[in-house]
């Protein structure tokens, strides 16, 4: 088939192209849509069937196998022995590992992805079932690899703790070369998992004989300071489909060439320029400091003070005051969000909105070449430590973040038709994930671990 790690490289490049947001839509660097789908969707009757247990060969006939555990400890894959594992922490709540055959199984390449349903990598807005997840992941992994596959459904091994399992196989073609491909997809109550591999017929058939996937107890709570920082940007990372800082770092660490890296660099530079008027290192650091020390939080508090806000004004009285000013609906929504945030968190009103975006711009700044990875992480550590001083929990941090989004967007969090309503629904979903982005200990000691 193709050169070493082709599926892994293709998927990383695909993620990168969706991680840079549409600056014309929002100034928080949210992404547009991506992609299409590839593969054959199951017939409706098959979609309702329970997972089938496939008959395994006798143990003596099995190729030698090995366990490969995801970096977050949430699942493990049993596959052929001796594959080279590359762990790629895409974002909070989502991990990927590449499993490469190297010289022992030339051309064999596998990618395994595990994520909560709220943090499927890439722009996955159309994923609403295991079938659409399988279409989406197969397209994301294969797009740009030079490999095409005509998928057909096949019996899927069951997994303890799974709601549903799905398997597909097909002929893989790359130029005049052909081989075999297999995809295995698992849905639990709150997560999706996948393993997709291609290679020559004998290697893929050997891999199919030993393949199994097991759900584990690992949680984001063991992720440490970097995990905490990633959780601060987890909502926007979920919208964008990946954490650009970590995606770009993995590209560098994998030794991608300048032509591949330059695509990401130019996108990051363009996004920062269009959305933040940031065009160099000095402006990046100045903006980060502004977000940490003033930001929209100061604007909101100043706005409230201009209206004569005091501690003895209740919410109904404040709302009546705004109505009497004959303000437009958007301004009233904006100011009521600021009031609610101030009532809950005082001077820290919507500071979480600003502190989260420190992580976003520093990640883009690193990809743009305006700072090193260490400089980006150092600044984000400052923001994380300040957040711990202002709020008592992830719940408080997320509420302040949402109030800030509502203030900035001038949209009601209670209106599901608005981007603010969608953002609120996303936060609710992510908070409900067992072992997800917000399961970390809020009071953990944050230290420099890079």
How does pLDDT run across 74-99, given as a tens digit for each residue? 899 999 999 999 988 778 878 889 99
Share of the chain above pLDDT 90, in %: 59
Which of 5-14, 265-274, 341-350 is least confident?
5-14
Q: What is the DSSP string of 281-318?
A: HHHHHHHHHHHHHTHHHHHHHHHHHHTT--TT--HHHH
DSSP E strands: which ranges in 218-278?
A: none
Q: Flag whether pLDDT at 209 surpasses 50.
A: yes
Tell me the C-alpha distance between 356 and 360, whole Å. 7
- In which element (H, E) is residue 210 found? helix 201-210
Q: Flag whether pLDDT at 32 surpasses 50.
A: no
How distant, in Å, are the alpha carbons of 288, 294, 442 from that of 307?
28, 19, 35
pLDDT score at 40:
28
Tell me the C-alpha distance between 72 and 67, whole Å. 15
Tell me the C-alpha distance between 430 and 119, whole Å. 8
Of the candidates 185, 209, 181, 206, which has an alpha carbon nearest to the alpha carbon of residue 195?
185
Q: Count other Cβ atoms within 10 Å, centred on residue 286.
A: 12
pLDDT score at 432:
87
DSSP-derived letter for residue 434 is T
The band of 59, judged by pLDDT with boundaries at 50, 70 and 90, is low
Of the candidates 184, 216, 212, 194, which has an alpha carbon nearest to the alpha carbon of residue 74?
216
Mean pLDDT of the chain: 85
User: Quick check: 112 and 194 in contact, CB under 8 A?
Assistant: yes
The band of 45, judged by pLDDT with boundaries at 50, 70 and 90, is very low
The pLDDT tens digits of the residues spanning 114-149 come to: 988 888 888 677 899 999 999 999 998 888 788 899
pLDDT score at 192:
94
């Amino acid at each position: 088939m193709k050169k070493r790690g082709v599926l892994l490289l293709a998927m990383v490049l695909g993620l990168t192209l969706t991680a840079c947001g549409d600056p014309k839509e929002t100034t928080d660097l949210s992404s547009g849509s991506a992609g299409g789908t590839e593969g054959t969707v199951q017939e409706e009757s098959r979609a309702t069937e329970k997972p089938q247990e496939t008959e395994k060969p006798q143990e003596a006939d099995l190729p030698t196998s090995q366990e490969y555990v995801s970096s977050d400890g949430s699942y493990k894959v049993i596959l052929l022995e001796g594959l080279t594992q590359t762990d790629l922490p895409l974002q909070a709540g989502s991990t990927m590992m590449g499993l490469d055959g190297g010289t022992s199984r030339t051309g064999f390449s596998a990618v395994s992805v595990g994520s909560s349903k709220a943090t499927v990598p890439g722009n996955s807005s159309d994923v609403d079932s295991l079938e659409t997840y399988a279409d989406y992941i197969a397209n994301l992994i294969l797009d740009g690899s030079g490999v095409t596959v005509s998928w057909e459904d096949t019996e899927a091994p069951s997994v303890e703790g799974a709601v549903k399992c799905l398997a597909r196989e097909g002929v893989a073609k790359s130029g005049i070369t052909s081989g075999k491909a297999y995809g295995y997809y698992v849905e639990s109550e709150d997560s999706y998992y996948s393993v997709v591999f291609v290679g020559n017929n004998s290697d893929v058939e050997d891999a199919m004989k030993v393949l199994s996937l097991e759900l584990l107890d690992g949680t984001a709570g063991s992720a440490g300071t970097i995990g905490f920082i990633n959780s601060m940007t987890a909502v926007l990372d979920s919208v964008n489909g990946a954490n650009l800082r970590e995606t770009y770092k993995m590209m560098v660490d994998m030794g991608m060439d300048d032509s591949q890296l330059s695509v990401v660099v130019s996108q990051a530079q363009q996004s920062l320029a269009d959305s933040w008027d940031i065009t160099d290192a000095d402006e990046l650091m100045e903006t980060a400091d502004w977000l940490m020390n003033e930001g929209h939080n100061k604007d909101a508090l100043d706005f409230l003070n201009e209206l004569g806000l005091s501690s003895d004004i209740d919410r109904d009285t404040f709302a009546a005051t705004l109505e009497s000013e004959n303000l437009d609906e958007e301004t009233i929504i904006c100011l009521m969000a600021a009031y609610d945030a101030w009532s809950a968190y005082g001077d820290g009103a919507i500071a979480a909105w600003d502190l989260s975006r420190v992580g976003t711009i520093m990640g883009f700044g690193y990809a743009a070449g305006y700072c090193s990875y260490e400089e980006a992480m150092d600044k984000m550590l400052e923001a994380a430590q300040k957040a711990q001083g202002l709020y008592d929990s992830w719940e408080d941090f997320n509420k302040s973040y949402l109030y800030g989004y509502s203030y900035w967007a001038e949209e009601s969090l209670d209106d599901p038709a608005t981007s603010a309503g969608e953002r609120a629904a996303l936060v609710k979903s992510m908070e409900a994930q067992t072992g997800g982005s917000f399961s970390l200990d809020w009071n953990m000691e944050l230290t420099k671990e890079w």
